[in-house]
Amino acid sequence: MPYNNQTTMKQLIFIMATMLTFSTELKSQNYVPFPTENAQWNVYLEYSMSENPADTILMQYVLNADTTINQLRYNRLCLQSNASDTACVAPIGGIREKDKRIYFIGNDFLGFPHDEELILYDFNVQVGDTVFHDDYSSFFSIIEAIDTIEINEEYRNRYKISPDSRNSNYYFPDDEYWIEGIGSVKAGLLGHITMVPTCCYQLWEHICFKENGVVKYLNSTFSDCLASNLLMGVNLPMTDLQIKIYPNPVTNQLQIENNSNENLSIKIIDINGRSILEQPLNKTKTTIKLDLRPGIYNALITDQIEQIMLTQKIIKQ
């Protein structure tokens, strides 16, 4: 058979496509272990002991050195006071990993002690397996699905945990999501082992995960790792701020109507906390072409001094 450039080119394209598929499969198969240092999980907490407005707190959990508990070596989990302070303000407990299982001993979000080591996360689970939420195996959920997600140019397994219809689960009625090397990206690091008191109002939610100073996952509900849009009270627009963002979900073009007579800008942030787009708004109507991959994004409306005036979750189809 004579040498044929067209045939050779088709063969090369086939080989390259096969290699790309194989490479992607390899990426998704590489297990990402839990961090042992330079990691931070931020959690948003609301609580109220009465009918008064709820107090809001930013809880910043960090790994701080090593510790020994019950003759086992752990990475010490601490609360720190602010974003720039690495000191351990309050020791919480310890985390260790063995055979893709993450073990925890210490206090949960509300200070309830877990004096015996428990499995915080098990990344060996398969679809249909059971996940327990307490020390006595009274409350549990089911692994409903497992897929992969790209985090900072790295593929990780993601697990969807759903309530089991066989179990009346008052404390954990909603779906939960775990990601290898991070943990829960909905209820927060210790959220699924923290019991909700019946005496009062409590709510907690994962804000972000940072490693080596880099934000690797940001919950799109929040504008940044400090939850500025909620904790600083700027999640609600000013009385004279009239902004409309549509359509949502959006396919190609996002429309923003600005009837506020303010000099405002819009910033689009992805789930990893990266700024994807930023531009000023016209005084009447602005059209933005969204050349983005499908997913969930956060739209921030800011004023001239970059104060956040409004946030809105955007779904790109």
Task: Write the pLDDT tens digit of every residue in 120-148.
Answer: 999 999 999 988 877 666 778 899 999 99
- The pLDDT of residue 31: 94
Retrieve residue 39's tokens. 């990691």
Provide the 8-state DSSP code for 251.
S
Please identify which residue in the block is written with the tokens 């927060």.
Answer: 188
CA torsion, ordered 31, 36, 41, 45, to nearest 10 deg: 110
Beta bridge partners of 36: none
The band of 3, judged by pLDDT with boundaries at 50, 70 and 90, is very low
- Nearest residue to 268 via CA among 299, 227, 229: 299
Q: How far is the CA of 17 from the CAs of 27, 164, 295, in angstroms? A: 15, 41, 25
Can you list the alpha helix ranges (DSSP code H) found in the chain? 5-29, 228-231
The H or E element that residue 157 is part of is strand 155-163
Kindly report, residue by residue over 230-261, the tens digit of the pLDDT.
665 434 334 456 788 888 888 889 999 988 77
Residue 155's pLDDT is 93
Least confident residue range of 13-27, 94-108, 256-270, 271-285: 13-27
The secondary element (H helix, E strand) that includes residue 27 is helix 5-29
Instruction: Output the average pLDDT for the chain.
Output: 79
Direct distance between the N- and C-terminal alpha carbons of the chain, in angstroms, rounded to an integer:
48
In this predicted structure, the answer to whether residue 183 has a pLDDT above a threshold of 90 is: yes
Of residues 201 and 227, the one with the higher pLDDT is 227
Per residue in 89-103, pLDDT (tens digit) is 778 899 999 999 999
* Whether residue 217 has pLDDT greater than 70: yes
Position 217: which residue type?
Answer: Y
Which range is least confidently modeled, 22-26, 30-34, 73-77?
22-26
**Residue 304: pLDDT band by 50, 70, 90 thresholds?**
confident
User: Which pLDDT tens digit goes with each residue over 27-50?
Assistant: 446 899 999 999 999 998 877 655
